[in-house]
Amino acid sequence: MAKQEALERQQAWADAVLTGLERLGGIAHLSAIYRETERIRRDAGYEILRSHEETVRQTLQAHSSGSPSFRGGYDLFRPVPERGRGYWGLNVVGATSFRAFQKEAEEFLKAIGL
């Protein structure tokens, strides 16, 4: 059960960062991503912990094939060095696939009455 909870927590963070970057126009500096994900998580009822910024950075790196920390799976984000240090953007193909998966999962749960 702990493994499932950890996976759900990682997906919730990936969704918050993805939503934040979408709201910020697809490319943003870490400072803006921190603020937007904090707003998203606070609005969703989550407590904002001191590790918030670290978790955002870990989430970006874990879901970016351009990072040594990439864990496989959805390649959602990409560093944007041409904009300067600390800029990240959406990997449109990966983000689109992730959103399509979420929609299919929601429709499936609705179809089975959950």
pLDDT of 19 = 93
CA 114 and chain centroid, separation: 24
Place of tokens 């606070």: 42
pLDDT per residue as tens digits for the range 71-112: 888 888 999 988 878 999 998 765 666 666 666 666 666 677
**Residue 80 is part of a domain; what is its CATH number?**
1.10.10
Rounded CA-CA distance 6/12 in Å is: 10
User: Does residue 7 surpass a pLDDT of 90?
Assistant: no
pLDDT of 77 = 92
Rounded CA-CA distance 95/24 in Å is: 14
Range of the domain at 83: 2-111
- Stated as kind and residue range, the H or E segment containing 76 is none
Q: State how many domains the chain has.
A: 1
Rounded CA-CA distance 110/27 in Å is: 33
User: Does residue 62 surpass a pLDDT of 70?
Assistant: yes
CB 27 within 8 A of CB 87: yes
